[in-house]
Amino acid sequence: MRKVIVLIVLALALPAAAIADDATPVPSTQDAAQTACRAQRTAIGDAAFKLLYGTNANKANAFGKCVSKASKGAEENDAAAANACKTEQAADRAAFAKKYGTGKNGANALGKCVSATSTDADHADQAATIAAAKSCKTERAADTAAFAKKYGTNANKANAFGKCVSAKTTTTTTTTP
C-alpha cells in the first residue's frame, strides 16, 4: 500500500515539476525598461528624473511613465531592427549568415542580428536621454526662470525640463548617423 501511495505522489510530482520548469519567467521588455529607468534615475538624480517623467502634482508617477516610454521605445527599436536586418539579409544571405549566425549553418542569424541591432539602439536611446537630462539639469541650475521661459509650453511652465530633454534628445538622434 505504501508503495502505491509513493508511486502516486511521484506521478503527481513529476508533471508539477515539469510545469514549474516551463513557467520560468522570461525577461520581458518591461523588465528591461525598469532596469533602464533605474539607471536613468541614478544617473540624473531623483529630482531631475521626477521633473522629466512625472506628470501628476507630486511627480510620484515618474517611474511608471519612464517604464511605459522605455517599453514603447524598445518595441519601436525591435521593429526597426527587424526591418533593417531583413533588408541586410536579402542583400546577401551567405554573408549575412556568416556575419550573424553562430550555429552550424547560421540559421539563427536573423534573430542574432535583430537582437544586437535593437540592443544597440536601446543603449543609444538611453545614453542620449541621460546626456540630454544632464545638460538640461545644468542649464536649469544656471537660471531657473530663464530655463522655464525658454522651454516651458504650458501655463505654469512646469513642463520645461521634459521639453528641454525632448528637444536635446531629438537633436542628438537626428544628427547622428
Residue by residue, DSSP assigns the chain as: -HHHHHHHHHHHHHHHHHHHHHTPPPP-HHHHHHHHHHHHHHHH-HHHHHHHH--STT-TTHHHHHHHHHHHHHHHHHHHHHHHHHHHHHH-HHHHHHHH--STT-TTHHHHHHHHHHHHHHHHHHHHHHHHHHHHHHHHHH-HHHHHHHH--STT-TTHHHHHHHHHHHHHHHH--
What is the pLDDT confidence band of residue 45, given thresholds at 50, 70 and 90? very high
Instruction: Locate 2 and state its grid cell.
Output: 505504501
Lowest mean pLDDT among 38-52, 85-99, 115-129, 162-176: 162-176
The torsion angle over the Cα atoms of residues 114, 120, 123 and 128, rounded to 10 degrees, is: -120
Residue given cell 536621454 in the structure block: 129
- Cα angle 91-97-73, degrees, rounded to a multiple of 5: 75
Lowest mean pLDDT among 16-25, 74-83, 134-143, 168-177: 16-25
CB 115 within 8 A of CB 83: no
Which pLDDT score, from 0 to 100, does residue 171 have?
63
Would you say residue 25 has pLDDT above 60? no
Would you say residue 107 has pLDDT above 90? no
Lowest mean pLDDT among 20-24, 105-109, 115-119, 146-150: 20-24
Kindly state the average pLDDT of the residues 142-164: 90
Cα–Cα distance, 18 to 15 (Å, whole number): 5
